[in-house]
Amino acid sequence: MNKYILKLHYLFSFIFASITGILAILSMFIHCQTNIYTYDLPKHLEYHTALVYIGLAAFGIAAIAILCRLLEYIFKITGKGTQISHKIVLFCGAVILMAGIFWISFNDGVPVSDQIHVHEEAQRIAGFLDSPFDTGYFSYYQRNRGVTLLAALAFKIFGNHLYSFQIFNLAALLITYCSICKASELIYKNPLITSITAFLLMLFYPLFIYTSYLYGTLLSAGFASLGLYAATALCVKGKMKYGLLMIFAFPFGILMHQSAAISLVASVIYLFIHSKNKTLLRNVIISIATIVMVFLSVKAVDTAYVHITGADPSFPAVPATCTMYMGLTATEGYAGPGSHDGSESDIFNENNRDEHAANKDAVSRIFIVVREYLTGKRSLNFFLEKTEYQWLDPTFNARRVIRLNDLNEGTPPNSDSFIAFYNSSFRTIIFKLSIGFMLLIYACSFLTGTVTIRNIMEHPLAILIQLYFIGGFAFQLIWESFSRYCFCYFLWLIPEASFGLYYLYCSILKMLAKQNFSHLRQLHRKNK
């Protein structure tokens, strides 16, 4: 590794440690509360006593340390650490899958907001709903066409029921889990760290809560994770099949949700950083092929949607720059600063729905806004609050999936068992524990960042995860604010936190060994 690449590694680790350190400090005192009683009510920040959640995080560290000690002993006496680790991964995966199956059968909530558009349009395409196609919405927001066509395919194959799409979500759940565990195994090459990663993923309940969500959230996270694993495996094993997996995974993930593009960018940078003379051309070809496939797949989906629905292919879409302007200025959004407040549509409509004119107008406004932030005319506190609303929601908006149907809107009543769960103290307790879990992940990820700064060559492949998180954090600073959009990035902090926990465990053992040795030396001197 040359000195310039080494400096990049140091820079990425420093930025990663800085971000996770700030999030760890903030999560000690603040969390973002999602209102689950009425869908339209806004999110809000709540302040709490740091000691309570520090205590929960400390308890988690102690529990993981005990688990590590037990596993280490079992690995030692059996001599089959890797095999046992694989069984642990398999067991935790089975638990997550069963939890997902249980949840989609237990949760009888109905789709709301954007989910309604996806659900009904998919039903129309599949032939189960006889009403005009919603081409206006899907022309304005073309990014939702991919998940809608997939939902239509699910309904066509499995029948007109939400379960049909949720089967795909269950598959994405397993893909996400397996990809993160396999990547952790390749990066750290330690069965204990792999086991901790599997255990923490099992405890992160939003992962299976999103199985009931009729949107591209889990599918996008799954295929972005598969692509990140493929990029890691390509660097470690060098087999072309992992490059082909990248070419397949990233485009599909981006079709489900645009956030997967960050994983592609991170992987491309990562491949260039770790390219050698022999692998440079290969990595360039794979990267270009993946990017080309993204554009081709987006074009194919748009063409298919237009062909099926008869939508006007020249119908203008809301430019991404309008969304960016909203993300930099919105103060009245229901999900906090930078969240949806209708300003993107306002710019679009003010320019007579002319895509090019709206884009030009949005760009000029963005330059003005950036200048105002730099000169102090606008307060930079906007970005701090935006960060708090996005990254301090311990459920990453999954709590909003747990909601009662609105009988006033004619939706069917919930089951008695779901209402009982909804009104129970158990739900509140789980949420409180999730705040401690969030603090644990941020704090231990910060520790990993500081360790990699000091010893960058020990685990150089961990830079991919750090790049992905940095990219996601930066993107969400300027994009539409929503904690759900941060879900996929937080998932990949878990293997980083696992290494941090393992490092803490080893440090505790060393400290105890030194104390014991010092005690023995003192006894020896007394005996003399």
- Is the pLDDT assigned to residue 517 strictly greater than 60? no
- Residue with more model confidence, 266 or 355: 266
* Mean pLDDT score across all residues of the chain: 87
Query: Which among 455, 467, 386, 399 is positioned nearest to 427, based on CA atoms?
Result: 399
Residue-wise pLDDT for 381-399, tens only, equals 999 999 999 999 998 988 7
DSSP codes, 50-91: HHHHHHHHHHHHHHHHHHHHHHHHHHHHHS-HHHHHHHHHHH
Least confident of 68-82, 160-174, 433-447: 68-82
Contact between residue 409 and residue 415 where contact means Cβ atoms under 8 Å apart: no
What are the phi and psi torsion angles at 480 (to 5°)? -55, 130
349 lies in some domain: no
Contact between residue 155 and residue 426 where contact means Cβ atoms under 8 Å apart: no
343 lies in some domain: no
- Is the pLDDT assigned to residue 439 strictly greater than 70? yes
- Is the pTM higher than 0.75? yes
Tokens describing residue 239: 């087999």
R_g of the chain, CA atoms, integer Å = 24
Q: d(Cα 58, Cα 66) in Å, to the nearest integer?
A: 12
Residue-wise pLDDT for 250-282, tens only, equals 999 999 998 899 999 999 999 988 877 788 889
DSSP codes, 278-303: TTHHHHHHHHHHHHHHHHHHHHHHHH
- Is the pLDDT assigned to residue 94 strictly greater than 90? yes
Tokens describing residue 185: 């195994």
- Is the pLDDT assigned to residue 211 strictly greater than 80? yes
CA dist 269 → 9, 13, 454, 463 (Å): 12, 15, 22, 10
133: left (phi over 0), alpha (psi -120 to 50) or beta: beta
Length of the chain: 528
111: left (phi over 0), alpha (psi -120 to 50) or beta: beta
Q: Residue 146: give the domain boundaries.
A: 3-316+392-527
Residue-wise pLDDT for 453-488, tens only, equals 877 666 777 889 999 999 999 999 999 888 999 999
Tokens describing residue 74: 């079992």
Residue 419 has a pLDDT of: 82
284 lies in some domain: yes
Number of structural domains, the chain? 1
Residue 521 has a pLDDT of: 52
Residue 58 has a pLDDT of: 86
Residue 520 has a pLDDT of: 45
508 lies in some domain: yes
481 lies in some domain: yes
- Is the pLDDT assigned to residue 528 strictly greater than 50? no
Give the mean pLDDT of 487-501: 94
326 lies in some domain: no
Residue 335 has a pLDDT of: 79
* % of the chain residues with pLDDT over 90: 48
Contact between residue 286 and residue 234 where contact means Cβ atoms under 8 Å apart: yes
Q: d(Cα 293, Cα 227) in Å, to the nearest integer?
A: 13
Residue-wise pLDDT for 414-433, tens only, equals 788 888 887 788 877 888 88
- Is the pLDDT assigned to residue 378 strictly greater than 70? yes
Residue 408 has a pLDDT of: 58
CA dist 503 → 447, 509, 512 (Å): 8, 10, 14
Cβ neighbourhood burial of 423 (10 Å; 0-12, 13-18, 19+): exposed
Q: d(Cα 132, Cα 266) in Å, to the nearest integer?
A: 41
Give the mean pLDDT of 211-227: 93
Q: d(Cα 503, Cα 451) in Å, to the nearest integer?
A: 9
Q: d(Cα 191, Cα 179) in Å, to the nearest integer?
A: 15
Hey, how many other C-beta atoms are within 10 angstroms of the C-beta on 236? 16
Contact between residue 272 and residue 235 where contact means Cβ atoms under 8 Å apart: no
Most confidently predicted of 15-29, 323-337, 387-401: 15-29
Contact between residue 190 and residue 140 where contact means Cβ atoms under 8 Å apart: no
Q: d(Cα 491, Cα 258) in Å, to the nearest integer?
A: 17
87 lies in some domain: yes
- Is the pLDDT assigned to residue 70 strictly greater than 80? yes
Contact between residue 231 and residue 246 where contact means Cβ atoms under 8 Å apart: yes
